[in-house]
Amino acid sequence: MKQLPQKNIAQCGTSLSLLLASSLLASSAFAQPALPAYDLLLHEGHVIDAKNHIDAVMDVAIKDGKIAKVAEHIPSTDALKTIDAKGLYVTPGLIDLHVHVYNGTGERGSYAGDLSVPPDGFTFRVGVTTVVDAGCSGWKNFEDFKQRIIDRSKTRVLAMLNIVGSGMRGDKYEQNMADMDGEATAQMALKYPETVVGIKTAHFGGPEWTPVEQAVIAGTKANIPVMVDFGTDRPTRPLYDLLTKKLRPGDIYTHMYSGLRQEQDPTTLGPSKAFIEGRKRGIFFDTGTGGGSFKWSLAVPMVKDGFIPDSISTDLHVGSMNGATKDELNVASKMMAIGLSLQEVVAEMTSHPAHEIKHEELGNLSEGSVADIAVLRVEKGHYGFTDMQNTRVDGTEKLVAELTIKDGKIVYDLNGMEARRWNEPLDPNAKYASRWTTFAPRPPDTHNTAPATEMPH
């Protein structure tokens, strides 16, 4: 290494600070070069971040699992790894507000068992980084759900507790009003405030208001929203009363386009008076399309009337994943096929659901936020989208996830955007790859630097 020439110091004077500066310069020649400011840079993607009102081509820099900077131009020399996202959309990691993932108990015919799906199999491949389990478990079995699934999944799994203490295990349990205890449910919710984000009531067939009333007691005590699947339509408990009297502003009505419970005005085919009044009061409306909860004959005229969802969710389970629902991006593509903009559906899968569950830290790309990101492609072509009655709407656009990033690291990469070609040399920064990807590069084969001239036998 070279010492700074003595005359330079003399020319510049001999103040203490300059001497310090020159000695630092000299010693840095021995040290490793400093790492760039960012771990990963997504370059020139079209960022849609509803919370921050961004809808433009921007660069997104990530450092230590957090969003470090979103700006018009961030030089790639500032990052260990740069990925070209030109022509793609960069959004916050998607939040699916209504899924069923209490899988693996072995219980047949139960959403706390065989009817649920394992979350990681259905999330990253469609840009989803957070799911909310909608009431598979109640206060009695939540801790089993937590240790079995929530704590072991790569996906961020949040939960709404079923107002039924035993959870969503079939009619024998779900119709049992003696097992609907708002107080006990609130206590469990308050024990896990990071994970329990709501209370769910579902599938109730009786004429009573008990499940809704107990759910609201629990939701009020724990200061979290109630999500309602309103079960059997009963004249003793009209939808109008649910949305204008029983629920609180901020509670959530799921299966909004099911047509099973007075959602649609029979004359105008637009939203019913209950829906209009409920929205005015601040009730949120969620798709939860599921296996039997979405009809084009409702969705088309209601969207035409401007009654669009607050949140887009799947109600994912074994009966919907291969049916009309399929996955989160398919439901979003459906809504686009009947008139919603890309910007609207992205908001309904990011900042809106985060707001509904009072987890405003999720669903945005604010600097300092957790770096959960979906990189989406809008494919053009001819597509068909079905509903629970097996009727179809044709569309020309379909959303596809190219890349999913969770906590700053790539967890899904459809077309190997991040990977090097097999016969290219290793990136000099590859030794730092664990800072931006879960797919660790293996050391290059010692013998494959040149293509083989002979076929192996």
**With respect to Zn ion, which residue has the nearer C-beta, 320 or 437?**
320
Min CB(260)–Zn ion separation in Å: 13
**Residue span binding Zn ion (CB under 5 A) among the ranges 9-17, 186-194, 313-321, 396-404:** 313-321
Counting every residue written for the chain, the total comes to: 457
| Cβ atoms 304, 271 nearer than 8 A | no
Q: CA torsion, points 68, 74, 77, 81, in degrees to nearest 10?
A: 50
Distance between CA atoms of 85 and 65, rounded to whole angstroms?
19
In the complex with Zn ion, the residue whose CB is nearer, 294 or 296, is 294
- Site residues for Zn ion, 97-156, by CB under 5 A, read 134
Q: Which of 14, 18, 67 minimizes the C-alpha distance to 39?
A: 67
| Options 65-73, 219-227, 312-320, 409-417: segment touching Zn ion (CB under 5 A) | 312-320
Q: How far is the CB of 344 from Zn ion (least distance, A)?
A: 23
Q: What tokens does 312 get?
A: 């887009």
Nearer to Zn ion, 134 or 222 (CB): 134
Residue number, 251 or 315, with CB nearest to Zn ion: 315
Instruction: Assign 341 to helix, strand or coil.
Output: coil
Q: Can you tell me which residue has the tokens 């609907």?
A: 180
* Window 414-433: residues binding Zn ion (CB under 5 A): none
Give dist(CA 354, CA 348) in Å, integer: 9
Closest separation in Å from C-beta 290 to Zn ion: 6
Instruction: Return all residues near 203 (Cβ < 8 A) that are at least 6 apart.
Output: 168, 171, 174, 229, 231
Instruction: Tell me how far apart the terminal alpha carbons of the chain are, to the nearest angstrom.
Output: 52
Instruction: Point out which span in 68-76, 315-323, 332-340, 435-443 binds Zn ion (CB under 5 A).
Output: 315-323
Strands 196-201 and 156-162: parallel
96 binds Zn ion (CB under 5 A): no
Cα angle: 98, vertex 99, 100; to 5 degrees: 140
The answer to whether 286 contacts Zn ion (rule: CB under 5 A) is no
Q: Does 315 bind Zn ion (CB under 5 A)?
A: yes
Residues 6 or more apart whose CB falls under 8 angstroms from that of 306 comprise none
Residue 227 or 239: the one with the smaller Cβ distance to Zn ion is 227
> Which of 117, 134 has the CB closer to Zn ion?
134
Measured at CB, which residue is nearest to Zn ion? 315
Binding mask 47-76 for Zn ion (x = CB under 5 A): ------------------------------
Per-residue contact flags (x/-) with Zn ion for residues 326 to 345, judged by CB under 5 A:
--------------------
Q: Which is nearer to Zn ion, 38 or 284 (CB)?
A: 284
Minimum gap (Å) between residue 450 Cβ and Zn ion? 56
Pick the closer one to Zn ion by CB: 214 or 325: 325
Judged by CB under 5 A, the number of residues near Zn ion is 2
Residue 199 CA to residue 221 CA, distance in Å, equals 11
The CA distance from 98 to 259, in Å, is 18
Catalog residues that contact Zn ion under the rule CB under 5 A.
134, 315
